[in-house]
Amino acid sequence: MKTKEFDFFLPPNLIAQFPPEKRGQSRLMTLDRNSGLREHKKILDLPGILCEERFLSSCGEKPLLVFNDTKVRKARLIGKSAESGANAEFLLLDKTSDNETGILNDEFGIKNEEQTEWKTLVQRAGRRKVGSRYIFFDTDGVEIAQAEITREEGEFRFLRFDKPIDDEWLDRYGHIPLPPYIKRSDAPSDADRYQTVYANETGSAAAPTAGLHFTGEILEALAARGIERAFVTLHVGLGTFQPVRSENIEDHVMHEERFIITESNAQLIENAIAKKQKIIAVGTTSMRTLESAYNNEQLKRGWQSTSIFIYPGYKFKITDVLFTNFHTPLSTLLMLVCAFAGKDFILESYKEAVKEEYKFFSYGDAMIII
């Protein structure tokens, strides 16, 4: 199957650069893959929509929503080269074991046990060589850390800091890693708006954006109508949003992401399946988690990893309904949605979304596919 089959025209003005003024005010396109019916609704209509007959089981049971409660790490750091003074932007992905490899130059005067190393992505990676040093400052221009590149691994650079760098430190000094199609610097409001209201477990480099639409009031309205919810945690990596560059999609190598399903949430989901309730994956990350963990009518518990690549031809095991945003051309996320609802139907729906001027991508509007 050719990657180019998953391309579509999108006017740049439809790429949402900001979230809606208030969370939950976005538009919602409903799609029925069996009837081909499309309807134009609002996110605020969702509690009522999910009580419609088409979302109920044959016994009248209401659906179960499955959310990804990962929390976005403020992992973007902007420093200056100690040699040239030029700016350098790093995205911290994974913390490696302290003292695993390398030491900083002696001139730092820092004991090895007080250092922290992170696997990072960096702009202009080809220029970032082992031994290059960087200085980081707070908003007042006060130096807060120094670091050195200790090793390379393909496009990744391992950055060893002169002090422990943890999530508390990043919350204070880091920036929200907005996607590259948002053509602006992060604002203080993004720390709230590029995070779901139920975010709990820190570890993602990007938000599970379908969940950004839900407010406390919407969650309460769903619960008041007897619609249950369960949570999984998948830490979203940047590979989720990378375009597929191979000519044939089958040649694309998927990145790996870590996830966990707790015993209590697994039981909730399995009980819903036993009662024939429809399982609604809120976002592609929730879907990938469910489809990865479900086997022989059970969900595997505990920490796991997945590199599952879902594209047309995939046979879904557990997910009945998908709630998701509009995705980028040539992406694995678009391929997943096409696998769920049919490529022609989805691309036609995207064309209609362009015509109706829906907003696209992370801060954009949503669709729910039955």
Q: What is the pLDDT of residues 46-93, one digit of tens each?
A: 999 999 999 999 999 999 999 999 999 999 999 999 999 999 999 999
Q: What is the pTM of this model?
A: 0.92
Q: Which residue has the tokens 């046990």?
A: 113
3-72+190-369 belongs to CATH 3.40.640.10: no
- For the chain, domain boundaries: 3-72+190-369, 76-173
> 364 burial class (0-12, 13-18, 19+ CB within 10 angstroms)?
buried
CB 345 within 8 A of CB 33: yes
Highest CATH level, class, for 76-173: mainly beta
Residue 229 CB-half CA count within 13 A: 20
Query: Considering the chain, what is the average pLDDT of its residues?
Result: 93
Report pLDDT digits (tens) over 158-206: 999 999 999 999 999 999 999 999 999 999 999 999 999 999 999 999 9
Under 8 Å CB-to-CB from 161, ≥6 apart: which residues? Answer: 115, 116, 117, 118, 145, 146, 147
Residue 357 CB-half CA count within 13 A: 1
Most distant CA pair in the chain, distance = 71
Is the pLDDT at 100 greater than 60, yes or no?
Answer: no
Percent of the chain having pLDDT more than 70? Answer: 95
d(CA 309, CA 333): 9
Phi, psi of 26 (to 5 degrees): -75, 170
d(CA 315, CA 331): 19
Who wins on pLDDT, 105 or 181? 181
CB 241 within 8 A of CB 331: yes
Whole-angstrom CA distances from 351 to 241, 284, 306, 356, 363 are: 21, 21, 31, 9, 19
Q: What is the pLDDT of residue 5?
A: 97
**Among the listed residues 197, 360, 210, the one whose alpha carbon sits nearest the alpha carbon of residue 282:** 210
CB 175 within 8 A of CB 78: yes
Q: What is the pLDDT of residue 124?
A: 81
CB 287 within 8 A of CB 262: no
Q: What is the pLDDT of residue 104?
A: 41
d(CA 323, CA 282): 5
Q: What is the pLDDT of residue 114?
A: 59
